[in-house]
Amino acid sequence: MTPDLAQLGAEHEALIQFLYLAPVGLVQADLHGEVAMMNPVAAQLLMPLSRNGGLDNLFVALEGVAPELRSMVERHPEPSGKVCDGLHVYLNAGHGGKRVPQILSLTLLKLDPERVMAVISDITEQVRRERRLRQNDAWLNAILAGVKDYALVSLDLQGRVCEWNPSIERVTGFGPDLVGQPFTRFYPLDAMTLDHQQDRLREADANGWSLDEGRRQRADGSLYWGSALIAPLPDREPLPGDEAGAAYCLILRDIGDQHGLPERRHDDAVRDHLTGLANRRALFEAAERELGRSSIAPRPTALLVIDADHFKTINDRHGHPGGDSVLRHLAGVLGENFREVDVVARIGGEEFAVLLPSTDLARALAVAERLRASVVAYPAMVGGQPVEYTVSTGIAVALDGEGGIDRLLARADDALYAAKRAGRNRVDHWRPGIDVHDAHQENADAT
Amino acid sequence: MTDTPIAFDAPDLAERLAHCTPEQLDTLDFGVIGFGPDTSVTLYNAFESQAAGLSPQRVLGQPLFTNVAPCMNNFMVAQRFEDAHEDASVLDDTIDYVLTLRMRPVKVALRLLASPGAGTRYVLVQRQPR
């Protein structure tokens, strides 16, 4: 071997080893998922999922846990770009043993019209750690952190207040007429749906307790930061003639308002820096939670995807600071038009999304139409001048959590494209056979 | 240890491998990876080296499941060795697997060998006809 060839050989070997040792899974495949190359960690993570003993096809290997991949790639309109970013893939905890990951993170990048690249990593521990931290936070707040006072409330099987006592008045200001009302009275108006109320009780039944922390509202309308712990009571089968007997105890604590209500409460990881709204990750987490619950307690969930029309023109005319003002203005309008329980997020440059728990299509259409009209009626102010703009909205509804957030978002996106194509400043909703392809085409031409 | 070639599926394979010199291992037509109780690689024959594209110097002494063959670091392979060690039981099992030799997924049969008394455990790799 000549020295040059020897040098090349050594470099090649070093590169091969670099890929062998890369601590993430890397896969290159064609658009049908046929694998061209993969590194060892990819095989380590995918082999336990393979049902035919092979790893010839990425989509086949992941079929059981992420069936949407194939269609996500097929429907990705651009010739290149991210198809999904850090998608959480929940594996079935089928096998025992400590080496079995439960959650994979999957990023799919379309390299060109022929190839995709996947990055796969095991994030089981990471997700667990984050969850534990959040729980610890809530626990510590419930027990220790600057508790001003607490109220003890007994609830019946439906979550209605059974009895009044002075601690309730001290903490919440409610008098004896509270008896018979649902415990959601302690929450701001619209902060909790009826379904959520039942979720909490079911969770308490299943785990022995259910804890949450957030804004609470006193009888006079003032807000405070509080935690609520619900635990089922023993011997709670109603006695004859006493159907409204106590079935749960609720401990409501005023943690004080030193946390700065409410935005400062959450760290930057879940908040969009420009608008202060939830970010994409927070939306996905909330959606996974809500859709997961709706598969247990059936109910519809609506997702709105809202996009500022001709945003590029706004940017061109008013500069990026002007564009940012419009986005902040839109964020403000969004904040005013939705319930406390709805999750309003910024998920892209000028793209926003709102998750509406326990909401069917008719209601979602009404809310979206109201939003559209608000934007038209109240223009943004940039440098003292009104800037008029409009929004288009796509709506999709998942029944009983079916299909998960990815399908819901993809459908809402399709509906958004349809709304754009039909002329903008309008609302459309997903339905089978919605004409997506042309819509994408035209939108690419004229955003 | 001369005339009969050693077969991948020989019943007494571990014992026969233990008597081979590194040069003899290099003549085999399947991959041989031997490793110690701390999982560091002690044997790496020419067949395996050629298939993986790694010279033995890069591999010998390295922990097998983290630095050499991370693809086997799951319950299907690595944990089998750990379990066998914990239970002080004999492991001799052959499984279908996919290795990523030079980043190409390749169907192989893996034979996993370990016994409580022996210092060396083996992962043996035979390519399968596709």
**Count of domains forming chain A:** 3
Domain boundary at A92, A122, A152, which? A122
Indicate if the pLDDT at residue A176 is higher than 70: yes
Is residue B127 less than 8 Å (CB to CB) from chain A? no
Contact residues, chain A, for B107 at CB < 8 Å: 53-54
Best of A8, A17, A20, A49 to disrupt the B interface by mutation (most B CBs within 10 Å)? A20
* pLDDT at residue number A148: 65
* pLDDT at residue number A445: 40
pLDDT band of A95, cuts 50, 70, 90? very low
Classify residue A1 by its DSSP letter: -
Domain CATH for B122:
3.30.450.20
Residue A26 lies in a domain: yes
Q: Of A149 and A357, which is predicted with more confidence?
A: A357
Contact residues, chain A, for B99 at CB < 8 Å: 40, 43
pLDDT band of A149, cuts 50, 70, 90? confident
Chain-centre distance for alpha carbon A307: 18
DSSP string, A349-365: SSEEEEEETT--HHHHH
Q: What angle do CA A207, A400, A102 make, to 5 degrees?
A: 55
Helix (H, G, I), strand (E, B) or coil at A348: coil
Is residue A13 less than 8 Å (CB to CB) from chain B? yes
Residues A388-416: what's their mean pLDDT? Answer: 92
Domain boundary at A122, A154, A184, which? A122
Q: Which residues pair with B113 in a beta bridge?
A: B92, B122
Indicate if the pLDDT at residue A83 is higher than 80: yes
The first and second tokens of residue A146, run together, are 């600057």
The first and second tokens of residue A331, run together, are 């964020």
CA distances from A32 to A54, A110, A115, A137, A154 (A): 16, 12, 9, 44, 57
Q: How far away is chain B from the Cα of A63, in angstroms, using its nearest Cα?
A: 18
Residue pair A346/A275 in contact (Cβ under 8 Å)? The answer is yes
Percent of chain A at pLDDT > 70 equals 86
Helix (H, G, I), strand (E, B) or coil at A384: coil
> Which among A278, A127, A144 has a CA at the least distance from the CA of A213?
A144
* pLDDT at residue number A261: 45
**Count of domains forming chain B:** 1
Contact residues, chain B, for A47 at CB < 8 Å: 71, 74, 76, 97-98
Domain CATH for A167:
3.30.450.20
For A56, other C-beta atoms within 10 Å of its C-beta total 16
Residue pair A236/A247 in contact (Cβ under 8 Å)? The answer is yes
Q: What are the helix (H) ranges across A297-397?
A: 311-337, 361-377
Residues A74-84: what's their mean pLDDT? Answer: 88
Which one of A16, A35, A41 has the shortest CB-CB distance to B70? A41
CA distance B98 to A58: 13
Conformation bin of residue A424: beta by default, left when phi > 0, alpha when psi is -120 to 50: left
Each residue's pLDDT tens digit, A215-233? 899 999 998 888 888 988 8
Burial class (CB in 10 A: 0-12, 13-18, 19+), A176: exposed
Any idea which of A95-99, A203-207, A367-371, B99-103 has the lowest mean pLDDT? Answer: A95-99
Indicate if the pLDDT at residue B41 is higher than 70: yes
Roughly what angle, to the nearest 10 degrees, separates helices A404-421 and A436-446? 60
Is residue A37 less than 8 Å (CB to CB) from chain B? yes
* CA-atom Rg of chain B in angstroms: 14
Percent of chain A at pLDDT > 90 equals 41
The pTM is what? 0.50
* pLDDT at residue number A135: 67
Is the same domain home to A209 and A139?
Answer: yes
Indicate if the pLDDT at residue A179 is higher than 90: yes
CA distance A227 to A233: 19
Residue A324 lies in a domain: yes
Residue A1 lies in a domain: no
Indicate if the pLDDT at residue A246 is higher than 70: yes
Is the same domain home to A71 and A213?
Answer: no
Q: Of A139 and A108, which is predicted with more confidence?
A: A108
Contact A47 B69 (CB under 8 A): no
Residues A422-431: what's their mean pLDDT? Answer: 95
* pLDDT at residue number A349: 83
Which one of B68, B74, B105 has the shortest CB-CB distance to A44? B74
Structural domain including A277 reads 268-446
Is the same domain home to A306 and A405?
Answer: yes
Each residue's pLDDT tens digit, A307-361? 999 999 998 999 888 999 999 999 999 988 898 889 999 988 889 999 999 999 9
Domain boundary at A199, A222, A254, which? A254
Contact residues, chain B, for A8 at CB < 8 Å: none
* pLDDT at residue number A133: 76
Indicate if the pLDDT at residue A147 is higher than 80: no
Is the same domain home to A378 and A435?
Answer: yes
In one letter, which amino acid is A86? G
Q: Which residues pair with A317 in a beta bridge?
A: none
Residue B59 lies in a domain: yes
* pLDDT at residue number A94: 42
Structural domain including B64 reads 21-127
The first and second tokens of residue B89, run together, are 């039981």
Is the same domain home to A289 and A394?
Answer: yes
Contact B70 A20 (CB under 8 A): yes
Residue pair A179/A173 in contact (Cβ under 8 Å)? The answer is no
Helix (H, G, I), strand (E, B) or coil at A375: helix
CA distance A172 to A161: 13
Is residue A104 less than 8 Å (CB to CB) from chain B? no
Indicate if the pLDDT at residue A93 is higher than 80: no
Indicate if the pLDDT at residue A304 is higher than 90: yes
Is the same domain home to A195 and A63?
Answer: no
Best of B62, B64, B67, B71 to disrupt the A interface by mutation (most A CBs within 10 Å)? B71
Residue A2 lies in a domain: no
Is the same domain home to A22 and A106?
Answer: yes
Each residue's pLDDT tens digit, A113-141? 999 999 999 998 888 788 777 766 666 66
Is the same domain home to A48 and A177?
Answer: no
* pLDDT at residue number A264: 42
> Which among A356, A367, A358 has a CA at the least distance from the CA of A391?
A367
Each residue's pLDDT tens digit, B55-110? 999 999 999 998 888 889 888 899 999 999 999 999 999 999 999 999 999 999 99
Residue A286 lies in a domain: yes
Is the same domain home to A245 and A305?
Answer: no
Q: Which residue of A has its CA nearest to B104?
A: A37
Indicate if the pLDDT at residue A35 is higher than 80: yes
Each residue's pLDDT tens digit, A348-385? 888 999 999 999 999 999 999 999 999 999 999 888 88
Is the same domain home to A295 and A407?
Answer: yes
Residue B4 lies in a domain: no
For B:67-96, CB contacts with A below 8 A are: 67-76, 78-79, 96
In one letter, which amino acid is A281? R
Helix (H, G, I), strand (E, B) or coil at A141: helix
Contact residues, chain A, for B72 at CB < 8 Å: 44
Q: How many Cα atoms occupy the beta-carbon half-sphere of A336 within 13 Å?
A: 12
The first and second tokens of residue A118, run together, are 């996947």
Is the same domain home to A51 and A142?
Answer: no
Q: What angle do CA A180, A225, A266 make, to 5 degrees?
A: 130
Is residue B27 less than 8 Å (CB to CB) from chain A? no
ipTM of the prediction? 0.85
Residues A35-64: what's their mean pLDDT? Answer: 89
Contact residues, chain B, for A15 at CB < 8 Å: none
